[in-house]
């Protein structure tokens, strides 16, 4: 244990599937204090977040409006952090608001465009505020991406399949986009065509990312979060696959990001850059 004051943490999207895991992880972390809980549902406004998520009272009420809690956090001695697991529609404004109050965002919400990420980077830079945008907090996925980078040196053909539960709002997944970006940065174009392809059914060949990389999205009840990166070459297939079975797999990454973001002065995109 250090003598440092605990890091004040606000969780935005506190009652959601990820938000509730973050609340429990932060409440259990000795070097953090749960400072605030935000969620949009007016029916749970003012209720104790611990009672709402079923882990017992935590003495932190859920608030619908982020402004008062961000303002209060900005007065704290220790730099405060806002973890965002909300919705692709709201995440951009949430992050801007946090940075405006000097609160460091740790963003798990996916669906931000590359233009939005660039704008947020500029905003964070001007404010000299750390901000982490992390499409996937699980160590297994980071290892898969590193293995994919290695494989890309030897294979010229690759496609990505991501599979998720059918409550997911955005497609393709933020993880698939990031994986494709990492492969595209390897300085080559994949999947040189062997024939002229036509689609009898629009979308059959998936979405086309940079450098010829195809991404296919599957949405089904019964799935949680899964991704395959499939490399092909004459006579062989090399498949990388990651499966999640419980959202607790993301929590070590979320806690690491909270501890790291307060040391940064600009935006960083991807967990691989801070581990
Ligand atoms: N980076 C990573 O490792 C991971 C990222 N994710 C991403 O995190 C995001 C959230 O996922 P998940 O927890 O499954 O989604 P949920 O829908 O279960 O949770 C989102 C929560 O945020 C609330 N919410 C929606 N809009 C707002 C807003 N403007 N302000 C405050 N709260 C809001 C929702 O309320 P209501 O239900 O009433 O609308 C809900 O309680 C997704 O983008 C998902 O892809 C998920 C897993 C891992
Ligand atoms: O919505 C989810 O569940 C997930 N979303 C993230 C994404 O879009 O990549 C991370 C993980 O795949 C789970």
Give ipTM to 2 decimals.
0.99
User: How far is it, in rounded angstroms, from Cα 131 to Cα 17?
Assistant: 22
User: How far is it, in rounded angstroms, from Cα 20 to Cα 33?
Assistant: 15
Of 107, 120, 67, the closest CA to residue 261 belongs to 107
Q: What is the pTM assigned to this prediction? A: 0.98
Active-site pick, 164, 178, 226, 242: 164
pLDDT attached to residue 204:
98
Which two tokens mark 243? 């499966």
Q: ∠ CA(42), CA(81), CA(269), 5° rounding?
A: 105
44-79 pLDDT, tens digit per residue, is 999 999 999 999 999 999 999 999 999 999 999 999
Query: Is 109 labelled as part of a ligand binding site?
Result: yes
Listing DSSP states for 145-161 in one string gives HHHHHHHHTT-SEEEEE
Query: Is 82 labelled as part of a ligand binding site?
Result: no
End-to-end CA gap in the chain: 21
95-152 pLDDT, tens digit per residue, is 999 999 999 999 999 999 999 999 999 999 999 999 999 999 999 999 999 999 999 9
Is 99 buried (19+), middle (13-18) or exposed (0-12) by CB count in 10 A? buried
**Cβ proximity of 116 and 131 under 8 Å:** no
Atom 23, ligand 1: residue with shortest CA distance: 13
Q: How far is the CA of 154 from the centre of ligand 1 (A)?
A: 38
24 touches ligand 1 (CB under 6 Å) = no
Atom 28, ligand 1: residue with shortest CA distance: 40
Query: Is 175 labelled as part of a ligand binding site?
Result: yes
Atom of ligand 1 nearest to the CA of 38: 31
Would you call 168 a catalytic residue per the annotation?
yes
* 17-28 helix and 251-261 helix, angle to the nearest 10 degrees: 70
224-236 pLDDT, tens digit per residue, is 999 999 999 999 9
Query: Is 110 labelled as part of a ligand binding site?
Result: yes
Listing DSSP states for 161-225 in one string gives EEEE-TT--SSS-HHHHHHHHHHHTTS------SS----SSTTTT-EE-GGG-EEEEEE-TT--E
110 touches ligand 1 (CB under 6 Å) = yes
Q: How far is the CA of 221 from the centre of ligand 2 (A)?
A: 14
- What radius of gyration, in Å, describes the C-alpha atoms of the chain? 20
Would you call 164 a catalytic residue per the annotation?
yes
Cis peptide before 172 (omega within 30 of 0): yes
Q: How far is the CA of 19 from the centre of ligand 1 (A)?
A: 7
């Amino acid at each position: 244990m250090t003598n440092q004051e605990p890091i004040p943490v606000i969780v935005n999207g506190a009652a959601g599937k990820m938000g509730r895991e973050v609340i429990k992880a932060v409440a259990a972390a000795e070097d953090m204090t749960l400072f605030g809980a935000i969620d949009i549902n007016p029916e749970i406004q003012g209720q104790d977040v611990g009672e709402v998520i079923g882990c017992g009272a935590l003495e932190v009420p859920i608030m619908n409006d982020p402004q008062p809690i961000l303002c209060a956090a900005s007065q704290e001695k220790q730099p405060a952090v806002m973890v965002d697991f909300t919705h692709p529609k709201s995440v951009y404004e949430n992050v801007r608001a946090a940075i405006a109050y000097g609160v460091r965002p740790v963003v798990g919400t996916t669906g931000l465009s590359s233009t939005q990420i660039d704008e947020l980077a500029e905003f964070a830079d001007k404010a000299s505020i750390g901000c982490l945008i992390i499409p996937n907090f699980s160590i297994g996925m980071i290892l898969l991406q590193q293995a994919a980078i290695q494989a890309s040196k030897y294979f010229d053909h690759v496609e990505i399949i991501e599979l998720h539960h059918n409550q997911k709002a955005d497609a393709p997944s933020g993880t698939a986009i990031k994986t494709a970006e990492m492969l595209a940065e390897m300085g080559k174009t994949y999947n040189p065509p062997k024939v002229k392809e036509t689609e009898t059914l629009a979308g059959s060949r998936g979405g086309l990312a940079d450098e010829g990389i195809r991404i296919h999205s599957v949405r089904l009840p019964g799935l949680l979060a899964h991704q395959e990166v499939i490399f092909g070459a004459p006579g062989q297939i090399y498949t990388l696959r990651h499966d999640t079975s419980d959202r607790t797999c993301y929590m070590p990454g979320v806690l690491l990001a909270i501890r790291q973001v307060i040391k940064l002065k600009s935006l960083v995109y991807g967990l691989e850059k801070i581990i």
